[in-house]
Amino acid sequence: MYAPHPSVFGEIAATVEQEVRLSPSDYSMPASTVTEMEKIGLDKDIIEKVLGPRGNIIKLSEAGAKLSPDMTDRAVRVLRIANLAEKVFRNSSKAMTWLHLPNEVLGARPMDLLVRETGATLVEEALLRINHSVVA
């Protein structure tokens, strides 16, 4: 279903984390990071639900601009969960498949729950249960 990309989200997450540590109160993610996340497996629909109209993200990216602080927080949320899924499944393709398929326990596709922080928390808890061999 999804092409394998070993540790791709981990690489992006590490770069973002390093930048956040340098400027934690006013860090804004380059819009181009979102287009990179899309290229490696994130649904265009989810990006639009989480960050707003995709056309705006593309325009920002093409202009070399950064996301607003609020958009950055939402993009980091998706990145954090995708990175955790990649670590849990030890494979980007498996992680993306799990995030995009309906989950009985969660009652939705995990990726759809990332629109809000409360949903992301549920997805994170499910991934941690999987990681600790508890059915999720």
pLDDT in tens, 67-83: 998 898 899 899 899 99
Domain that holds residue 85: 8-131
Please indicate, yes or no, if residue 17 is contained in any of the structural domains.
yes
Please indicate, yes or no, if residue 24 is contained in any of the structural domains.
yes
Please indicate, yes or no, if residue 115 is contained in any of the structural domains.
yes
The answer to whether the Cα torsion of 92, 3, 102, 77 is positive or negative is: positive
Please indicate, yes or no, if residue 95 is contained in any of the structural domains.
yes
Distance CA 96, CA 26 (A): 30
Please indicate, yes or no, if residue 136 is contained in any of the structural domains.
no
Total Cβ atoms within 10 A of residue 59 = 12
Mean pLDDT, rounded, for 15-42? 81
Collapsing DSSP states into helix, strand and coil, what is residue 66?
A: strand
Please indicate, yes or no, if residue 3 is contained in any of the structural domains.
no
H/E element holding 15?
helix 8-22
Which pLDDT score, from 0 to 100, does residue 17 have?
A: 77
Q: Whose CA is closest to 106, among 94, 92, 121?
A: 121
Please indicate, yes or no, if residue 77 is contained in any of the structural domains.
yes
Q: Give pTM, 2 decimals.
A: 0.81
Query: Residue 8 — pLDDT band, cuts 50, 70, 90?
Result: low
pLDDT at 95 over 50: yes
Please indicate, yes or no, if residue 1 is contained in any of the structural domains.
no
Q: Residue count of the chain, please give it.
A: 136
Distance CA 116, CA 73 (A): 11
65, 8 Cβ separation under 8 angstroms? no
Number of independent structural domains in the chain:
1
